[in-house]
Amino acid sequence: MDLFPAGRQGLLSGVLRHVIKEMSALPDSTTVQGTAVILNGAPRSGKSSIASAIQQMSREPWMNLGADRFIDITPPRFRPGIGLRPAAIVNRPGGERPDLEPLIPNMYEALYDSIAVQLRKGLNVVSDVAHHDDYATVSGILYDCAKRLNGLRVYFVGVRCPVDEVWRRRRETWHRGEDIPADAPVPDLVRIWDREVHKPGIYDLEIDTSEMSAETGGGMILRHIETGRAPDALRRLAAMST
């Protein structure tokens, strides 16, 4: 019995050619390491939307290993895990969760080691994080993370957004239904996040999401990878490790 009648053999051939063409764009995991983009910025700055845009716009596979996904796999009693807020926001001894702080370095190490494994397997990775060093008992996490990706092709991208715009986004999403006036002043926690997350401000590329869509930002990053300067920010950050 002919499984593929003559009338459909041409269609099958076309499908196979399309599949082969698409697979040819995939990285050869035996010879080519992947590329990573680490998006660093405050909550509601637009990082997750840019990560999704990169996945949708590129023909190559980009694995999303962002902080939100890492928090999702963290047991509820240990959340927010690596999403722990800067200590200055709560303004009390020991920070927001003194019981969690000792775990934060290990959690970040696991996230960055996971990124390294995927890159060495030939996969691209986009990761959205909100690095800060404002903890009560630990420090230098970003510098240690940078060392863990030494020798790999990783772009560290600063995702900036004015605090007024971040506050508007917060009101319209996380605080929807709370009847917060449009002219309500920007809370200190929004300003503190913006201040702490961009220290020391060393990036390969910076984008302002108040001036562009997620698709425009994602396209800018992809073009920079293709035609811009080689990444160097993480090497510089690793050198700052004590």
Tell me which of 32 and 14 has the higher pLDDT.
32
| pLDDT of residue 27 exceeding 60 | no
| CATH architecture label of 28-238 | 3-Layer(aba) Sandwich (3.40)
What local confidence, expressed as pLDDT, does residue 3 receive? 43
Query: What does the pLDDT look like over 203-241, one tens digit per residue?
Result: 999 999 999 999 999 999 999 999 999 999 999 999 998
Dump pLDDT digits (tens) for 65-123. 999 999 999 999 999 999 999 999 988 877 889 999 999 999 999 999 999 999 999 99
What percentage of the chain carries pLDDT values higher than 90? Answer: 80
Residue 10 confidence (pLDDT) above 60: no
Mean pLDDT of 168-186: 94
- The pTM of the full predicted model, rounded to 2 decimals, is 0.86
Residue 210's pLDDT is 97
**Confidence check: pLDDT of 18 > 70:** no
pLDDT (tens digit, 9 = 90+) per residue, 139-165?
999 999 999 999 999 999 999 999 999
Q: What is the 3-state secondary structure (H, E, C) of the chain?
A: CCCCCHHHHHHHHHHHHHHHHHHHCCCCCCCCCCEEEEEECCCCCCHHHHHHHHHHHCCCCEEECCHHHHHHCCCHHHCCHHHCCCHHHHCCCCCCCCCCHHHHHHHHHHHHHHHHHHHHCCCEEEEEECCCCCCCCCCCHHHHHHHHCCCCEEEEEEEECCHHHHHHHHHHCCCCCCCCCCCCCCCHHHHHHHHHHCCCCCCCEEEECCCCCHHHHHHHHHHHHHHCCCCCHHHHHHCCCC
Quick: pLDDT tens for 86-101.
999 988 877 889 999 9
Q: Please state the domain extents for the chain.
A: 28-238
For residue 26, give every residue at least 6 positions away whose Cβ sits within 8 Å of its Cβ, in sequence order, or none: 60, 61
Residue-level pLDDT at 22: 53
